Amino acid sequence: MNTLQTADYIVFFIYFILIAAYGIYIYRKKKNRTENAKDFFIAEGSLTWWAIGASLIASNISAEHFIGMSGSGFALGLAISTYEWMSAATLILVAVFIIPLYLKNKIYTMPQFLARRYSDAVSTIMAVIWLLVYVFVNLTSIIYLGALAISAVSSISFAYCVAGLSIFAVIVTLGGMKVIGYTDIFQVLVLIVGGLVTTYLALTLLAEQFGYGKDLLKGLALLRKEAPGHFHMIFDKSNPHYKELPGMSVLIGGMLINNLAYWGCNQYIVQRALGAELHTARKGILFAAFLKMLVPVIAVLPGIAMYVMHHNGLFQKEMTDAAGLVKPDQAYPTLMNLLPAGLKGVAFAALTAAIVASLAGKANSISTIFSLDIYKKYFNRDASERNLVVTGRWAVVASMLIAAFVAPALKSLDQAYQFIQEYVGFFSPGVLAIFLLGLFWKKTTAAAAIAGALLTVPIAVVLKFLPVWTQGAFPDYPFLDRMTITFFAIVILMVTMSLSKPASEQDTHRIEVNSKLFKVSPGFVIGSFIICGMLAALYTIFW
């Protein structure tokens, strides 16, 4: 039943009270610093390595993982896990090569880096693009998927879910990055426990349906036996889902571009580490990489389990819409509705924790970019610290209101997770090209960066729709391959422009790069080897 019992409400309210009380405690403990802009936006010097790692994961995991990734697990199988497992490898690269340069040059926002390295024009163009993407793609999809899931497992209407999630997230966000960072530790614990509960239910239910009782290990074995096609990490061109996950591109092509842009050039993510010392930031990022390895267990396996049961005649009504079409994104809500009273409350709290943490992190990044890179630069150059904090809080409220009104428009989506990945991928190749060339090639000019910023989306749009416009005369590339093509097209364009019209010495904005910054501790090396070994084993077993 899509209702919560008394025990579920008790569990949820315990979670709500604990997270609210902890947030208030952190806020009051540091209240004397809440009017400091750097402290409010990036929690300068306040987050421990485990808080940074937990906050990275809490901000990253949301309804798009629980609902969207489970839906893709239902439709595609384990291969969708490549987004998580390759993220773990990418986080190591970011910790070694990118974060040290941000910290050494005292970078607090991504537009600030672009202004220092290139020009204010590049910075402003990208700041506006980021704000639009964060509000109209990220915030709206998180609210939509969250409200969809909560309304599916409770008697609360979709509209009230949208309103409740938005208000809850605003309350958390108004305390600043320190409150977000430390409450995220609790949020991660809740979402992992709740996620594991749902996975346990899925596997034991599967074992029970095949006559093996509630044998967890037997349920796990049944997944691969009953759905062998769902346990291939690399698709060949004959696979019907090749366009979504095209072969080796999930390892060295578009997936790497997607992940580097997300984890290394994204205010929403990088912000967690920008206020820390280098060794603390690196330990936090490595901790996040380990947690990333766990995500498919709580997000993908339940979707595959639902596929097996649906394929064997179960949950036909729950998994189809009024037109009789299978809706993969209903897999996780259907499972949650099967949980007994009390445990359903745990899973409900986990889902809410993931949604609210992600919304809060995204909203904080919106407020940071708007306040420091738009408001202070163009509206009030003499803004005080307090004024910036107040502006940031109003930006949180405004962005959440806009997203809440737009979110219902996403109801027509089938696999929301793939939608998010594809349309954010319109921007990622250009962002990554601008950042990598800006960090590691001193000859890159501001004019080249502007061209890269302005042409990224048009190139991506042409590659997507040209096959339609030419009625198939132009190849219809998978979106990850389009990202690769767009990335190299922008790099070639920027290199050519920079070489043909070099910037004068006084117009060259330099970022300090020192090879000593790339040296890592023995502990970091050991942790990285463990993660890489796990990845090698997984891809070997499930190739």
Note whether residue 469 is domain-resident: no
Note whether residue 450 is domain-resident: no
Note whether residue 260 is domain-resident: yes
Task: Give residue 184's domain range.
Answer: 6-31+47-416
Handedness of CA 378, 379, 380, 386 (dihedral sign): negative
**Nearest to residue 48, comparing CAs of 185, 238, 197, 248?**
185
Q: Is 542 exposed, middle or buried (0-12, 13-18, 19+ CB in 10 A)?
A: middle
Q: How many CA atoms lie within 13 A of 487 on its CB side?
A: 25
Give the per-residue SS3 of 430-476.
Answer: HHHHHHHHHHHCCCCCHHHHHHHHHHHHHHHHHHHHHHHHCCCCCCC
Q: Are 284 and 56 in contact (CB under 8 A)?
A: yes
- Extract the tokens encoding 376: 């202070």
Residue 320's DSSP bridge partners are 326
* CATH (domain of 67): 1.20.1730.10
Note whether residue 364 is domain-resident: yes
Note whether residue 71 is domain-resident: yes
Helix (H, G, I), strand (E, B) or coil at 300: coil
CB atoms inside a 10 Å sphere around CB 464: 17
pLDDT at 283: 92
Give the per-residue SS3 of 379-430.
Answer: HCCCCCHHHHHHHHHHHHHHHHHHHHHHHHHHHHCCCHHHHHHHHHCCCHHH
Q: Provide DSSP, 40-102.
A: HHH-TTT--HHHHHHHHHHHH-SHIIIIIIHHHHHHT-GGGGHHHHHHHHHHHHIIIIIHHHH
Flag the least confident range among 53-62, 159-168, 233-242, 320-329.
Answer: 320-329
Number of domains in the chain: 1
Note whether residue 316 is domain-resident: yes
The mean predicted confidence, pLDDT, of the chain is 82
- Extract the tokens encoding 225: 């036996």
Q: Are 147 and 161 in contact (CB under 8 A)?
A: yes
For 297-337, what is each residue's pLDDT tens digit? 888 898 888 888 888 877 777 767 666 677 777 777 777 77
**Nearest to residue 316, comparing CAs of 303, 327, 305?**
327
* pLDDT-based confidence at residue 464 (cuts at 50, 70, 90): confident
pLDDT at 56: 85
Q: pTM for the complete prediction?
A: 0.84
Note whether residue 516 is domain-resident: no
Helix (H, G, I), strand (E, B) or coil at 490: helix
